[in-house]
Structure 1
Amino acid sequence: MRSFKNLSILFIAAAVISCKKGNSVQADAKSQTTDASTTSTSLSATVTNPIIVYTTLADGSKKLLKEANINYNTTITTNPVITVTTDASHQYQTMDGIGLALTGSAAYTLKTSIPSATNRATLFTELFTTSGINLNVLRITIGCSDFSTTPYTYDDMPAGQTNGSLSNFNLLVQDDVNYVIPILKEILAINPNIYIIATPWSPPAWMKRSGTLNGTSSSLADSTQNGILTGYYSVYAKYLVKYLQGMEAQGIHINAITPQNEPRTLSSNYPTTYLGPSSEASFVTTYLKPEIDNAGLSTKILCGDNNWSGSSYHTSFMQNGNARAAVAGTAYHGYGGTPDVMTTMHNLYPTKEVHYTEFSGNVNDSFSSVLASMAANDICESAGNWAQTIVDWNLALDGSSLPNIKGSSSSRPVMVITSAGAITRNADYYVLGHAAKTMRVGAKRINTTDITSSSISNVGFINPDGWKTLVVTNTGTTAKAVDVKLGTQKFTYTIAAKAVNTFNWQ
């Protein structure tokens, strides 16, 4: 099944005329917003030429560069056509936003490698406001993950001891008190409307059969040993609600929580917990949802948080009517499988939300080799398959993908920041920016035609103020001219090989 099925997504990869090399990302971000046609944060300014264009080329000579505006034309061509339809009957999911993960490791890197709060504020303005790339989603970890500086939870006990009353619960420990909460507060001071998703990797070890945070094995045959003792389900639900309440006390509202990160992934190298779909359904229905409701919290629950290749997990969970009623929707990671499993889920339960909560590339892949494919897969196809959040993994790490609990990793962060504070923005940064910069919270995905048998992928959105955004990428090895039809008007653009373009118009 094509992943764009029923959705018509638009992405026309960025191709274009050559431009001077050496434009820094910071300079590009500034140039995009100082033009008279784009100074309004609502993108409602009158423009001389009606279509705004941003370009990133595979060779890096243009990176989210604002090109000269282009006009509509009446030239008859034989170019493939992308038809954009914006009426209400051709509008789909409402977007909560696009963003990345503020793991303990990412927060540590930001705080230690950029010790000046003023300099961090400059970076966060670039990342989280319309003067930069306008990200507005953060995924954070409940306790440690594989990308933390040390293993911990909020109620660790000596081996052999338990704490069913949670009398030792303390939110302000380890990475949370030192890095995550302070950095998160700095970001929220710049953009208070960040959508936050929180996820645990493990409950306290004393709640698990294994008595350890890490899995005892990577084999699913040992899943029972690596699971939560059912007698602690009630305590664990209270633990998670204490976390939500503690974050609220810090002025941080958690919009959504997932019960377990990748609940069928087990590793002896970092904290993991097995939680089968029937067990997650029981935990959510009987314990977690009632605890959240009784506490008067508005935090949503998303089930699964599992890979595309493990989509049977989501299906099994959602077949339980009581469990389905207790959750707002499902969450997916972009590993293995194909994104059309999200459309399958939407078609089964169209009133439930679909979220894309994690994807990450390999640090050894070059900018040119991943730019277009990431734009097609992680923006076009994920949004085209009903995802209303799109979330990359680590915001920042050092040049060796450290720190992390595993000791080594090939996971590519959105940005590499050296100990001296030098920043390299990876392809992820520009891919996220191409979708987020001109898309506003509350935008709806709109109908755009797929170009069959083509290397062109696309996705389109309409903002609450009526401005439209079309992202297009060309995964092919040659430039391709495309006509974009908007009602009775059209414009033509040549998308460079392996490039990404964003078009923005009223």
Structure 2
Amino acid sequence: MGASDFGTNAYSYAEVPNDYAMEHFSIKREEKSVIPYIKLAQKYNPNLKLFASPWSPPGWMKYSGLMDQGKENAAENKLKDDPEIYKAYASYFSKYVSAYKKEGIDVHKILIQNETDISTKYPSCVMHPEQMYKFVASYLRPEFDDKNIKTEIWAGTFRTYGALDALEFANKDAYLNAVDGIGIQYTNTKFISDMNLLVNNKPTMHTEGVCYNGKNTVEQAFKRLGEVASYINYGISNYCYWNMILNETGESGWKWKQNSLINIDREKQEVTYNPDYAVMALLSKYMQPGAKRIASFSKGTIISLKKDNTVFLFVQNKTDVAKNYQCVEKGETVAIATIPANSVAVISYVSKKV
């Protein structure tokens, strides 16, 4: 919602200061590229579900008065604790969902604040669990109910970088009851396990993968597989890659580089598919809706899935020699495969065990 860390500059949909009634609210800036991009994606996948999250409220809603430059103004990089601001911000969310719906785009989920625990040079906003709960329970939920907006409201997105906001949020029944789910990213597996013990079957989701540094190496792609596995194997049912397409620089408006699935050289009109693209293509081919993670044991197995009666074993061979894999179910060998050196493969077989 508005500028992310990879926008060309900071912007929101309510640029006029003190516009509490949202009279000047507008998504016009996104009509040029963002909305056509989403519509094209919907053309290829009509079942696509979208979630949205702001990196920062409009600057005038914060103590700093700025969407970005939080690194220099960390103490003031927060949403104002003011009823009129809360009301205006709730209206901001509902108008965003409604404006996109008029464009033929349904926003399935709203996550209240991206990376709630950090102040950065790019758009950001620190929002502790107690303020998030207060905003959702007393302002945003009533606003959505009043406007008959069915978009889900999720807490997060939380990280575990110097704070345990996800655990603090999940540890309070009132907080959990106020939201439809919890979004996390950059989270160590032990904290994922801790959170899942607290959420009482409340849905959870992964919201952003590691961004790296724009080098797009094979080594980083191999690490990506382990990252995906860390969420799936510890109870999160999805993985969300971050930058799908960047230009030839791989650089944001704040002069830092990140990895992406694809780079497009605007001058040469050349498209480069990066190593992460191969990883996500492989995972997406088999990690389909309806598949279930199953238990398995092997030093080389990353993720084990089962859909209907077919088992898919994602195997990573990091060695310089080919390795043989023997798949055993309850003492019976059901498949044998040779995995080439320094490669990733999927072993699939029809399970004989129901």
Whole-Å separation in 1 of the counterparts to 2:289 and 2:145: 26
Checking the alignment, whether the CA contact within 8 Å between 2:334 and 2:349 is kept in structure 1 is no
- TM-score normalised per structure 2: 0.90
How far residue 296 of structure 1 moved from its aligned partner, in angstroms, is 2.4
Are residues 1:258 and 2:258 paired? no
Query: Hey, what does 1:204 align to over in structure 2?
Result: 58
- Letter of the aligned partner of 2:195 in structure 1? M
Checking the alignment, whether the CA contact within 8 Å between 2:159 and 2:165 is kept in structure 1 is no
Q: Which moved more, 1:302-311 or 1:383-392?
A: 302-311
1:328–1:443 Cα change, 3 Å = farther
1:458–1:206 Cα change, 3 Å = same
How far residue 476 of structure 1 moved from its aligned partner, in angstroms, is 4.2
Query: Hey, what does 1:314 align to over in structure 2?
Result: 166
Q: For 1:282-321, list aligned pairs within 5 A.
A: 282-310=134-162, 312-321=164-173
How far residue 219 of structure 1 moved from its aligned partner, in angstroms, is 6.9
Q: Deviations over 1:188-244 (max 9, x none)?
A: 122111121101011111111111111343575x1xx11111221121011111111
DSSP-derived class of the 2:53 partner: strand
Checking the alignment, whether the CA contact within 8 Å between 1:237 and 1:288 is kept in structure 2 is yes
- Letter of the aligned partner of 1:428 in structure 2? D
1:328–1:281 Cα change, 3 Å = same
1:240–1:466 Cα change, 3 Å = farther
Query: Hey, what does 2:263 align to over in structure 1?
Result: 416
Kindly report the root-mean-square deviation, in angstroms, between the aligned alpha carbons of the 2 structures: 2.0
How far residue 489 of structure 1 moved from its aligned partner, in angstroms, is 4.3
Are residues 1:389 and 2:238 paired? yes
Are residues 1:482 and 2:336 paired? no
Query: Hey, what does 2:31 align to over in structure 1?
Result: 177
1:435–1:299 Cα change, 3 Å = same
Checking the alignment, whether the CA contact within 8 Å between 1:371 and 1:499 is kept in structure 2 is no
Q: Deviations over 1:126-160 (max 9, x none)?
A: xxxxxxxxxxxxxxxx0111211232111101xxx
Query: Hey, what does 2:12 align to over in structure 1?
Result: 153
DSSP-derived class of the 1:393 partner: coil
How far residue 415 of structure 1 moved from its aligned partner, in angstroms, is 0.8
Whole-Å separation in 2 of the counterparts to 1:306 and 1:460: 27
Checking the alignment, whether the CA contact within 8 Å between 2:50 and 2:106 is kept in structure 1 is yes
Q: Deviations over 1:348-382 (max 9, x none)?
A: 22402221111123322522x223222122x2221
- Letter of the aligned partner of 1:169 in structure 2? F
How far residue 466 of structure 1 moved from its aligned partner, in angstroms, is 4.3
Checking the alignment, whether the CA contact within 8 Å between 1:311 and 1:341 is kept in structure 2 is no
Paired residues, number: 345
2:304 aligned to which of 442, 460, 465:
460
- Letter of the aligned partner of 1:460 in structure 2? S
Are residues 1:426 and 2:264 paired? no
Whole-Å separation in 2 of the counterparts to 1:498 and 1:333: 28
- TM-score normalised per structure 1: 0.64
1:249 aligned to which of 55, 80, 102:
102
- Letter of the aligned partner of 1:318 in structure 2? A
DSSP-derived class of the 1:184 partner: helix
Higher relative contact order (CA 8 A, sep 6+): 1
1:388–1:484 Cα change, 3 Å = same
Whole-Å separation in 2 of the counterparts to 1:218 and 1:481: 54
Query: Hey, what does 2:248 align to over in structure 1?
Result: 399
How far residue 325 of structure 1 moved from its aligned partner, in angstroms, is 0.8
Query: Hey, what does 2:346 align to over in structure 1?
Result: 502
Q: Percent identity?
A: 26
How far residue 165 of structure 1 moved from its aligned partner, in angstroms, is 0.7
Are residues 1:493 and 2:337 paired? yes
Moved over 6 A (4+): none
Query: Hey, what does 1:438 align to over in structure 2?
Result: 286
Checking the alignment, whether the CA contact within 8 Å between 1:200 and 1:259 is kept in structure 2 is yes
Checking the alignment, whether the CA contact within 8 Å between 2:302 and 2:314 is kept in structure 1 is yes
DSSP-derived class of the 1:242 partner: helix
DSSP-derived class of the 1:437 partner: helix
Checking the alignment, whether the CA contact within 8 Å between 1:281 and 1:320 is kept in structure 2 is no
Are residues 1:380 and 2:229 paired? yes
2:205 aligned to which of 339, 348, 355:
355
1:285–1:215 Cα change, 3 Å = farther
Checking the alignment, whether the CA contact within 8 Å between 1:438 and 1:504 is kept in structure 2 is no
Query: Hey, what does 2:312 align to over in structure 1?
Result: 469
- Letter of the aligned partner of 2:348 in structure 1? N
What stretches of structure 1 of length at least 5 have no aligned partner? 1-141
Checking the alignment, whether the CA contact within 8 Å between 1:285 and 1:322 is kept in structure 2 is no
Q: Deviations over 1:159-203 (max 9, x none)?
A: xx41111111112x22x1110001111111221111211010111
1:166 aligned to which of 14, 17, 22:
22
Whole-Å separation in 2 of the counterparts to 1:505 and 1:290: 50
